[in-house]
Amino acid sequence: MSHGFEHRLEAELEQFVRDGVYKRLNYLDSPQAARVRMEGRGDVIILSSNNYLGLSNQPEVVAAGKAALDRWGAGTASVRFICGTFTVHRALEAACARLVGTGASLSFVSAWNANEAVPATLLGESDIVISDQLNHASIIDAARLAKAIVKCQTAVYRHADLGDLEAKLTAARDRRTRLVITDGVFSMEGSIAPLPDLVELCRRHDAVLMVDDSHATGVLGEHGRGTAEHFGLVGEVDIITSTLGKALGGAAGGFVAGSAAVCDYLTQRARPQLFSNALPPTVAASALASVEYLETHPERVQTLNANARYFRERLIELGFHPLPGETPIIPVILGETAAAIRMSDRLLAQGVFVTGFGFPVVPQGQARVRCQISAAHTRDDLDEALAAFKKVGRELSLI
C-alpha cells in the first residue's frame, strides 16, 4: 500500500484523538438487554441502545432465529430475483405491511439501504426530493445519491418548519413528482414529526410523503405501529421506511412499506435489492417473530412509555433539563462536546452507559448525553441510573 496514503490516514486519526472526536468501541459479552456485561467494566446498565421493547433477547425471537437456521441454512447465496428469496421473506414482508398499515412492504438488509433505494429508484430527472434538515444521515445520502444517479432536484426545508416546506413545494410545482421525506421520530432530539400538518400539506401540493419510522416502529401509538398510529393517521402516509435493527429484535434489516406498486417497482429496479443478497433467513425469522410478539403484546409499548415517563420526570425532579418530549429518547443538553463526554465517562464509571454526542453530530454548543429507555428496564434499573445521574450531576455542578 502507498506509504503516503497510510501516513495521511494515521495523521487524520491522530487529529481525531486531539480533537476529542475519536470513537472507542465498547465490547459487550452478553446479549443486548437492560444490563449488559461490558469488557473491562463488568455489568453496566444500558441507557444507550435502541432495544426499545427489549426484544433482542426475547426467547421467542431468539428461538425463531435458531429454527430458521435449521430450516433454511445460513443464507440466500444469491440476490433476490435470481434465487435468493425464501418464504420467510414473504411472511416477514406481509407482517411489516400489516404492522404499519400499508398494502405491501419490501425488506432490505438495512434501513440505510431501504432509504437509499427509494428516491434513486422511484424518481427521475423531472422530479424533486424535499428533505427535513435534521433527517437521518441515510436520508441525506439517499437524496444526494438520487441527485447523482437520476439527476432529480433536491431541497432541504428547515426542521419541522411547515412554512418553509410549503415555500419549497410551491417553488417545485413544475416538477412531475415531489417527494417529501421526514423522520417520524428525530433520533437526536426525541421529537415527533408534525405528521397531521405534513399529510395535509402534501395532499394540497400533490406531493408524495415518506416517513422514516426507524425510531417510531414499536414505540409510538398504542400498538407500536408508529408515527401514523400516534396521530390516528394509519393508512395516510404514502411510504414508510423503518428498521428491523431497533425495536423489532435489534438484529439488522429494514423495509419500505407502501402500495403494491411502490414495492413491486422497487423489486424490479432498486439497486441495493438487485445487486446484493437478501436478509439472512435467521435474521428475517427473528424479525418476523418480533413483529408477531409486538402484535400480541401491545402492553410492552405501554411499559416502554411508562418507563420513559418515569425516567424523564425523575430527571427533571433532580434538576436536569431534558429536551421536552414524549418519546423514550431523552437528551440532556450540556453545551460543549467536552462536557458531554465528561458526563458520559463519569456515568460509565458509575456503571451506567449513556453516550455523549457533540458537534458535528449535533449543532455546535448543543452537545448532549442521550438517554434511551427500554421496556426491559425495571424500576430498579432506572432508579440506579438516576442515582448515578444525581451523583455525577452534583460532582460536575450541573444540578
Ligand X SMILES: Cc1ncc(COP(=O)(O)O)c(C=O)c1O
Catalytic residues: 187, 215, 246
Interacting positions 241-260 with ligand X (CB under 6 A): 243, 245, 254
Give the Cα-Cα-Cα angle 222, 281, 71 (nearest 5 degrees): 115
Residues 137-166 that bind ligand X (CB under 6 A): 138
In the bound state with ligand X, the residue whose beta carbon lies nearer, of 102 and 214, is 214
Least distance in angstroms from the C-beta of 240 to ligand X: 12
Closer CB to ligand X, 115 or 286, in the complex: 115
Using an 8 Å Cβ cutoff, are 46 and 56 in contact?
no
Using CB under 6 A, count the residues that bind ligand X. 14
Measured from the CB atom, is 224 or 393 closer to ligand X? 224
Site string for ligand X, 199-238 (x = CB under 6 A): -------------x-xx-----------------------
Contact pattern from residue 81 through residue 120 relative to ligand X, giving x for each residue in contact according to CB under 6 A and a dash for the rest = -----------------------------xxx--x-----
Within the chain, residue ranges assigned H as helices are: 3-18, 59-72, 80-83, 87-100, 111-122, 137-150, 162-171, 195-204, 227-230, 260-269, 271-274, 281-296, 299-318, 337-349, 379-395
Query: What is the maximum span of the chain, computed from C-alpha positions, in angstroms?
Result: 61
**What would the x/- binding string for ligand X be over residues 168 to 187, using CB under 6 A?**
---------------x---x
State the distance between the two ends of the chain, measured CA to CA, in whole angstroms: 52
- Between 168 and 215, CB nearer to ligand X: 215
Among 80, 89, 136, 225, binds ligand X (CB under 6 A): 136
Contacts of 230 (CB under 8 A, 6+ apart): 192, 195, 216, 220, 221
Per DSSP, the three-state class of 332 is strand
- Nearer to ligand X (CB atom), residue 93 or residue 183: 183
Contact 249, 286 (CB under 8 A): yes
Question: How many Å apart are CA 262 and CA 12, to the nearest integer?
Answer: 43
For residue 142, the minimal CB distance to ligand X (Å) is: 10
Distance CA 374, CA 187 (A): 15
- Binding residues (CB under 6 A) for ligand X: these are 110-112, 115, 136, 138, 183, 187, 212, 214-215, 243, 245, 254
